[in-house]
Amino acid sequence: MDVLTPTVCPGAICPDLVEGSDLADYGKYLADESRRSGTADALAFPRSTAEVCGAVNWAKDRDLGITVSGARTGIAAGAVPDGGLAVSLERMNRVLGVRTAGDGTFLVRCQSGVLLSDLQHSVQSGTFADAASFDAESLAAVESLKTQSLFYPPDPTETSATVGGTVACNASGAHTFRYGPTRPYVHGLTVVLGDGRVLALERGRDVVEQSGEFLLATADGQEAVVRIPEYTWPTTKNSAGYYAAEGMDILDFFVGSEGTLGIVTEIEVRAIPAPEMSCAVVTFWTSEEQAVAFTETLQDGRDMLSVEAIEYVGPKALSMLRNRRTQLGATSGVPGCLPETAHCAIYLDVGTSRDSYADALSKLAGVIEDHGGSPSTCWSAVERDERERLRHFRHALPETVNAHIAEIRKTEPSITKLGTDMAVPGGRLVEAIGIYRSALREAGLDYVIFGHIGDNHLHVNILPRNAAEYRTGWDLYHRFADAVVGMGGSPAAEHGIGKLKTDFLRTLFHDEGVRQMLQIKAAFDPHSRLGKGTLFA
């Protein structure tokens, strides 16, 4: 059996390291979008893998824990430090090169602090701000990219996330319905382990053998046997815990590990051909039953109808958007012509070849009519700017909820965002929605439901008015998690476990699964230096 051997990195002094009273100016690095905030003894801003090693060695010498920070758009507090050294990767923001692999796959290599929006724009436009530093192979690949139409599919709603953060959370989004989450697009990773050594991993090359084991060289020259955990990974979307599957690539342990196994410093991702024609459509429905039945038909006919994304705007969420429009007018991102009879809405993206475009749209119109909807009241957009406006209609929802919570926190600072992130297997959506709605009604809580209905993954955002309702909301959240796991789903489908949902890791994988995860952690991070309080309470 080959031994996976991290390289020893002497490290480079990280010149941008802040300590002591100077930290007072860096408060934003102690919190994320969950609105929880923590503390740190020091903060480092490395610019290279060697400087990350230097920062890790600095922490090691002082026996400090390390928390990795991307853009802190996370909503589970994974990037919120619990003392020790916080390592911000925001200055590691260079695209390092591009290449075409032997099979024609187009690969982009970047530092982990590159913003997702910048990476997506570069791949789509073929323009790279760092091209001046590219080698000849990269420059040739860029020229070839300009003649093709490619894109990088992972699309969490918040595109100001870093590419490293999306890898660490295995982020997903609306287009996961057609293209899957971040994981399959990660081709290579460079990872600094908690002892300062460096692993360079490549998909297809560094694979766990059939025995389910691999050997990892330890810092003292020994070889540790590492076993793939035996738990069953949910078939739904899931971002809870360490991935496990027969014959898996070793880099897949790091994808979704939320900064607890290693610091991802460089990433090679795969871009794929973009559809020739795209259309965004918002359909309106007079009942939730109609909207769900429509979704199920689209799920069954996903290939025939060329649907890339199916997103739900529930009744109260639609009211929230109506109010937003009333308050903010045209700047709200919500068009003024919301049909008055609309009870809820489904947003769709359709992506096809030029030849099948008209056919796909006409079939879609037929499905809308079959379910009692009206194609004539739908909104549709073909041009890129117009499609972006419709996307913003859907994306305005999490922003509105966050603003609402921020307002409540002014009088009830103990309240944080209380949004569920649960996916259920196909065919269980109606049952899941029924459980959510009846429990919330019974408890008298205010809430909105929206999200990735195509993946049977809805966000129930509970809107507590005071601390007592907040506590009730958390109790319900736990009840929902039990119900969803009972159906074979995931209680943390895309936002990760972070520090706020550690109970759910046990709900999903039980004590034995968590024990096996801790064994993986002990192999890659033997001194438990990374991500204190994240995943494991």
Ligand X SMILES: Cc1cc2nc3c(=O)[nH]c(=O)nc-3n(C[C@H](O)[C@H](O)[C@H](O)COP(=O)(O)OP(=O)(O)OC[C@H]3O[C@@H](n4cnc5c(N)ncnc54)[C@H](O)[C@@H]3O)c2cc1C
Q: Pick one of 162, 352, 472, 490: the residue that binds ligand X (CB under 6 A).
A: 162
Mapped onto helix, strand or coil, the DSSP state of residue 140 is helix
Helix 429-443 × helix 288-300 angle, to 10°: 150
Q: Interface with ligand X includes 114 (CB under 6 A)?
A: no
- Least distance (Å) between residue 460 CB and ligand X: 15
Q: Pick one of 14, 79, 292, 453: the residue that binds ligand X (CB under 6 A).
A: 79
- DSSP strand pairing (186-192 vs 263-273): antiparallel
- 231-260 binders of ligand X (CB under 6 A): 258-259
- Least distance (Å) between residue 77 CB and ligand X: 8
Single out the segment in contact with ligand X by CB under 6 A; choices: 50-58, 159-167, 196-204, 512-520: 159-167
Other C-beta atoms within 10 Å of 296: how many? 16
Q: Interface with ligand X includes 268 (CB under 6 A)?
A: no
**Cβ–Cβ < 8 Å for 72, 32:** yes
**Cβ–Cβ < 8 Å for 368, 291:** no
Q: Interface with ligand X includes 46 (CB under 6 A)?
A: no
Single out the segment in contact with ligand X by CB under 6 A; choices: 70-78, 96-104, 221-229, 464-472: 70-78
Q: Interface with ligand X includes 112 (CB under 6 A)?
A: yes
Q: Interface with ligand X includes 495 (CB under 6 A)?
A: yes
From residue 118, alpha-carbon distances to 7, 99, 115, 310, 411 in Å are 30, 18, 5, 25, 37
Q: Interface with ligand X includes 71 (CB under 6 A)?
A: yes
Mapped onto helix, strand or coil, the DSSP state of residue 166 is helix
- Least distance (Å) between residue 258 CB and ligand X: 4
- Burial state string for 482-498 with b = 16 or more CB within 10 A and e = fewer than 16: ebbbebebbbbbbbbbb
Instruction: Pick between residue 357 and residue 536 the one whose CB is nearest to ligand X.
Output: 536
CA angle 78, 173, 472 (to 5 degrees): 55
- Least distance (Å) between residue 254 CB and ligand X: 7
Q: Pick one of 55, 171, 189, 282: the residue that binds ligand X (CB under 6 A).
A: 171
Q: Interface with ligand X includes 173 (CB under 6 A)?
A: yes
Rounded Cα gap, residues 329 and 334, in angstroms: 8
Rounded Cα gap, residues 428 and 413, in angstroms: 36
**Count of residues of this chain found to bind ligand X when the rule CB under 6 A is applied:** 38
Place of tokens 């758009």: 73
- Least distance (Å) between residue 80 CB and ligand X: 8
- Least distance (Å) between residue 324 CB and ligand X: 14
Q: Interface with ligand X includes 74 (CB under 6 A)?
A: yes
Instruction: Pick between residue 101 and residue 403 the one whose CB is nearest to ligand X.
Output: 403
Q: Interface with ligand X includes 75 (CB under 6 A)?
A: yes
Instruction: Pick between residue 480 and residue 524 the one whose CB is nearest to ligand X.
Output: 524
Instruction: Pick between residue 158 and residue 252 the one whose CB is nearest to ligand X.
Output: 158
Tokens of 339: 């049909």
- Least distance (Å) between residue 398 CB and ligand X: 4
Q: Pick one of 11, 65, 78, 256: the residue that binds ligand X (CB under 6 A).
A: 78
Q: Interface with ligand X includes 494 (CB under 6 A)?
A: yes
Q: Dihedral of CA 226/229/234/240: which sign?
A: negative
Instruction: Pick between residue 126 and residue 154 the one whose CB is nearest to ligand X.
Output: 154
Single out the segment in contact with ligand X by CB under 6 A; choices: 101-109, 134-142, 158-166, 273-281: 158-166
Q: Interface with ligand X includes 96 (CB under 6 A)?
A: no
Q: What are the phi and psi torsion angles at 384 (to 5°)?
A: -55, -45
- Burial state string for 137-174 with b = 16 or more CB within 10 A and e = fewer than 16: ebeebbeebeeeeebbbbbbbbbebbbbbbbbbbbbbb
Q: Interface with ligand X includes 455 (CB under 6 A)?
A: no
Q: Interface with ligand X includes 456 (CB under 6 A)?
A: no
- Least distance (Å) between residue 173 CB and ligand X: 4
The residues facing 268 across adjacent strands are: 109, 188
Rounded Cα gap, residues 352 and 203, in angstroms: 29
Instruction: Pick between residue 126 and residue 314 the one whose CB is nearest to ligand X.
Output: 314
3-state SS string for 453-507? HHHCEEEEEECCCCHHHHHHHHHHHHHHHHHHHHCCCECECCCCCCCCCHHHHHH
Binding string to ligand X for residues 396 to 415, with x set by CB under 6 A, is what? --xx----------------
Distance linking the first and last C-alpha atoms of the chain: 35
Other C-beta atoms within 10 Å of 332: how many? 19
Rounded Cα gap, residues 171 and 182, in angstroms: 6
Q: Interface with ligand X includes 51 (CB under 6 A)?
A: no
Single out the segment in contact with ligand X by CB under 6 A; choices: 137-145, 165-173, 214-222, 282-290: 165-173
Q: Interface with ligand X includes 168 (CB under 6 A)?
A: yes
Q: Which residues bind ligand X (CB under 6 A)?
A: 32-33, 67-75, 78-79, 89, 112, 156-158, 161-162, 164-166, 168-169, 171-173, 258-259, 263-264, 398-399, 494-495, 531, 534
